[in-house]
Amino acid sequence: MQLILLNQRANPKQKLLTISFNDTDCAYHLSTYKQPLISIVLIAGETLIQRIHNPTLSIPTIYVNGELVVRASS
């Protein structure tokens, strides 16, 4: 996180993309992509139950929408 903040100060127009876990102490200070964890869990559970009842189902590609959380620079 320190390197990202240092880069933001030195190059404010340059955007760095990072991958991290939501709602960590570090994420509070950065713009993050909030993953819809409840939706992911529900869809995973439904998909698992469907596969248990019908193991020959093809493996689906599933998309869920998250939320970009933009934090003000300090």
pLDDT in tens, 61-72: 988 888 777 766
Nearest to 68 by CA among 39, 31, 30: 31
Number of domains forming the structure of the chain = 1
The neighbour count for residue 43, using CB atoms within 10 Å, is 15
Cβ atoms of 64 and 39 within 8 Å: the answer is yes
Nearest to 68 by CA among 34, 36, 43: 34
DSSP state of 13: T
pLDDT tens-digit series, residues 15-47:
766 655 555 666 666 666 777 888 888 999 999
The pTM of the whole model exceeds 0.85: no
Residue 5 lies in a domain: no
Residue 27 lies in a domain: yes
Please tell me the distance from the alpha carbon of residue 4 to that of residue 2, in angstroms, as a whole number. Answer: 5
* Residue 6 pLDDT level (bands cut at 50, 70, 90): confident
**Domain extent for 47:** 19-74
Residue 1 lies in a domain: no
Residue 39 lies in a domain: yes
72 or 7: whose pLDDT is higher? Answer: 7
